[in-house]
Structure 1
Amino acid sequence: MISRRNFLTTVALGTASAAALAACGSPAPAQTGSAANPVTINYTWWGNDDRATRTRKAIALFESKNPDIKVNGNFTDFAGYWQKRATEAAGGGLPDVMQWDLSYLRDYGQRNQLLDLGTVKIDTSGFDKSLLPSGQIKGKTYGIPTSTNAFAVYYDPAKLKSLGVSEPDGSWTYDEYKSWLKEVGAKGNGTIFGSTDFTGIWWQFNIWLRQNNIEAFTEDGKLGFSKDDLKTWWNMASDLRGTPALVSEERATQLAPKSPFGSNVTVAENTWDNFMAGYLADSGAKELKIVPVPSDDPDNLGLFLKPSMLMVASAKTKFKDASARFIDFMINDPEVGQIFKTSRGVPASKTQRDGTTFEGTDKIVVDYEKSIEKYLKDAPEPPIVGFGTLEASFKRISSDLNFGKLTVDSAADAWFKEAEDLIKQNA
């Protein structure tokens, strides 16, 4: 089996209930269908219109190859997605198959709301063995990665040229990165800003912790960093807030659901490399580029390959076999790889990678991951229970900080109180 590293180099780049139903004269639901009478499974995902278009193409392809199964698909934005899943889980009605994020895997997996995919037939022979544990909890497989991604700084070269600002090469310290944002803001004439506040992004904070050899979480589910660490992080942008280096929180809120970068209001954005297709679609830009995030240690960029998303199934699905066939198709089929390219990240399955051609912007993403290969560290395991809530509160409190409602000290106090309370509840 080809390893992830070699690939990147090569491309240069319930029984009782059934009995009760039978006693009442109602047949148990069919596990499989036929072309004349197909079973229907529900599939849901998050994303923008570009991902929706690609996903619906993949669903149509699956249905054409599996006429005994119909897929009812729907999607929403990331924030609304998890609100719906929480409501469904409380009512016992999660969809059969779901796109999933690593942040929420432990929450639902440990509460027995997700199907152990090791109990159904899904081919994982084409996956790097170091990647599969990201979807496993206590020996059970609850999620299988569709793809991988890495964190990066996006920028629009055309906007930089129009402003007379040099393109970055990605070998920069935080001070150099901040100076670059200040230069962009100063030349943007109040219409073009540097970026959003990079300190308000949990994963950028996580990377900074890794750059300083600090764990985000300990093995026993506690915080691995101190309140002073968080204050240091949020203070890094104190001299940028309220200046053209960063777009204001008020302006960013007005632009939602599009990002300021996708709305052509900022020159740069820190996020995952698989956002390329979505940003191009939102902004209409002819070209976007990506470089590594800043680091004060040139030998430690704190970067890693993260499952950009996973496929999971409901523990209560009545159609385990059909759900497993759909998951297997979405993660392994070469034609699905051709549909998504790198919009979900670089395909995690060798079978899918080998059937996918990477050109243009997709090649940029693959080449970027090759360029940071020597800096990559082990990917994190599924975060602690409640992490999704902690990540959301990190964003919300950062927003209050940017609105001027909180000081750095009070913001750190507020987040730590929420974090410690949540950890205590789930202990």
Structure 2
Amino acid sequence: MRRSTRAVLAAASAGLLLAACGVGADPVQNPKLSEDEVTISMNWWGADARTQQTLDAIELFEEEHPNITVEPQYADWVGYWDRLATTTAGGDMPDVSQFDALYLASYAERGALLDLSTVSNILNTSALPDNILDTGRVGGDLYAVPTGATTNGVLINTSLFEQYGVEIPDTDDWTWEEFERAAVELTEASDGEVHGMSPWGSDSFSLTVWARQHGGQLFDAEGDLALDPDLLASYWHRTLDFIDSGAAPSVAQIIEGDGLPLDQVSVVTGKSAMSFIPAGQFIAYQSAAPDFNYDLANWPTDGDTREGFQYLKPSMYWSAASTTEHPAEAALLIDFLTNDTRVAELFGLDRGEPGNPAFREAAEPHLDDAGRESLAFTEAMADEVGDTPPIIPNGASDIDALLKRYYQQVLFGDASPEDAAEACLSELQDSINATG
């Protein structure tokens, strides 16, 4: 089964199972650590390297707290959310879980997550800047501690530009016209063997940045859709323009590459030279294509682009279950993962650029060139970011799956960008309303 289809099914099953999820009793304020033997479970998604790093961190934690045993649980992205929905519905959610912004509000508003203010006697979040920490709040309450945050950037395969003799514009102040012209020039210089860029179309991160460039946003503070359908239509029109100009691959090539693992996407295999990515994934792309050299750049702009269009999107979070029988120990583990700099040395930038400044300082000496470039880009963008947008609301967890479905209709010519945008946003609002 294709990954994209599995993702849709996972989101749907998660919503059905969460509707009846078990929730914990009223949490104890300022719980005390037990002196007895305690076992808690810790749950995360990721590849083998992340799993080994996390197991090493667990070993350090258990050495520090010999009466606490941490039971590891892990899976790939889709399997992770399937299993988490099932265990949560059965009242057996893992004590500590890695979380994503897509699902945070859904679980928090159904009472599945522990209000972390109740364990503030153990969990210290003071090292995290407010604009990062606040991304873990739902309805004003803290349900998740961000591991870090990242902006969106343009990944540029400089090796391909050098190979075909195409000059990269000055990315410190480039325009959309300059971006597209460089992409078309590379396509033509390679006789179509390489396309200048891979277009967007179905991820909420790039859509949010696009909307913010034009003064819009996806959701409002009340959890309703705030995106003008014309903005979503313009996002898809831009992709069609890229295809028509030759900057981007054909529709058939885009569809063929949909859902591929990272090591097979066109910007890694050398079939395209630029792509819009979460900047925190730069290391993963560079590691997947060691024969190429990559740079990161901010998005192109136009004369009417709004300032502060970039924002810090949380990489991922740590959360605790409302059903945990050991809230103090769960909080202690999250505190360890958030504040112990030995964890930073183990994790590096695997879970994004650390939100804790001490983590960044501890991780930097252990980073390779790609890691240092990724960190430098994030630090350089610190003065460019605007306010963090409202969190993805309950009922909107499948936004990326919806975007993908309607984006494909646009690509195949089954719907105009305007009609697809109206239908997509209507369906998304209905999903949000159904949770109210």
TM-score (norm 1): 0.84
Give the equivalent residue in structure 2 for 1:103. Answer: 102
Give the equivalent residue in structure 2 for 1:205. Answer: 207
Letter in 2 for 1:349: N
Query: Deviation per CA, 1:267-319, whole angstroms, max 9, x where unpaired?
Result: 22212111122222322346321000122146625111222111101111223
TM-superposed CA distance for 1:46, in Å, is: 2.6
Query: Deviation per CA, 1:11-30, whole angstroms, max 9, x where unpaired?
Result: xxx689xxxxxxxxxxxxxx
Give the equivalent residue in structure 2 for 1:245. Answer: 248
Q: What aligned pairs does 1:272-351 form with structure 2 within 5 A after superposition?
A: 272-285=278-291, 287-297=293-303, 300=307, 302-351=309-358
Q: In the alignment, is residue 384 of structure 1 matched against residue 393 of structure 2?
A: yes
Give the equivalent residue in structure 2 for 1:355. Answer: 362
Q: Distance in 1 between matches of 2:111 and 2:351?
A: 27
Are the aligned partners of 2:230 and 2:418 in contact in 1 as well (CA < 8 Å)? no
Q: What aligned pairs does 1:211-250 form with structure 2 within 5 A after superposition?
A: 211-241=213-243, 243=246, 245-246=248-249, 248-250=253-255
Letter in 2 for 1:253: D
CA RMSD of aligned residues (A): 2.8
Q: Distance in 2 between matches of 1:397 and 1:238?
A: 14
TM-superposed CA distance for 1:216, in Å, is: 1.9
Give the equivalent residue in structure 2 for 1:137. Answer: 138
Q: Which runs of 5+ in 2 are unaligned?
A: 1-23, 27-32
TM-superposed CA distance for 1:412, in Å, is: 1.6
The worse-fitting range, judged by mean Cα deviation, of 131-140 and 105-114 is 131-140
TM-superposed CA distance for 1:263, in Å, is: 4.0
Q: What aligned pairs does 1:186-205 form with structure 2 within 5 A after superposition?
A: 186-205=188-207
Q: In the alignment, is residue 42 of structure 1 matched against residue 41 of structure 2?
A: yes
Give the equivalent residue in structure 1 for 2:149. Answer: 148
Q: 1:407 to 1:76 in 2, by over 3 A?
A: farther
SS at match of 1:372: helix
Q: Distance in 2 between matches of 1:241 and 1:338?
A: 43
Letter in 1 for 2:329: A
Are the aligned partners of 2:286 and 2:370 in contact in 1 as well (CA < 8 Å)? no
Q: Distance in 2 between matches of 1:402 and 1:191?
A: 21
SS at match of 2:391: coil
Query: Deviation per CA, 1:198-229, whole angstroms, max 9, x where unpaired?
Result: 23332112112112212322233222122222
Q: 1:304 to 1:142 in 2, by over 3 A?
A: same
Are the aligned partners of 1:294 and 1:301 in contact in 2 as well (CA < 8 Å)? no
Q: Which runs of 5+ in 1 are unaligned?
A: 1-13, 17-30
Give the equivalent residue in structure 2 for 1:19. Answer: none
SS at match of 2:349: coil
Q: Distance in 2 between matches of 1:55 and 1:191?
A: 41
Q: 1:146 to 1:382 in 2, by over 3 A?
A: same
Matched residue count: 398
Give the equivalent residue in structure 2 for 1:59. Answer: 58
Letter in 1 for 2:216: I
Q: Distance in 1 between matches of 2:126 and 2:419?
A: 49
TM-superposed CA distance for 1:405, in Å, is: 4.6
Letter in 2 for 1:201: D
Q: What aligned pairs does 1:372-411 form with structure 2 within 5 A after superposition?
A: 372-411=381-420
TM-superposed CA distance for 1:404, in Å, is: 4.7
TM-score (norm 2): 0.82
Q: Distance in 2 between matches of 1:60 and 1:168?
A: 48
SS at match of 1:255: coil
Q: Distance in 2 between matches of 1:195 and 1:46?
A: 29
Q: 1:236 to 1:254 in 2, by over 3 A?
A: closer
Q: 1:292 to 1:32 in 2, by over 3 A?
A: same
Are the aligned partners of 1:50 and 1:281 in contact in 2 as well (CA < 8 Å)? no
Letter in 1 for 2:137: Q
Are the aligned partners of 2:145 and 2:319 in contact in 1 as well (CA < 8 Å)? yes
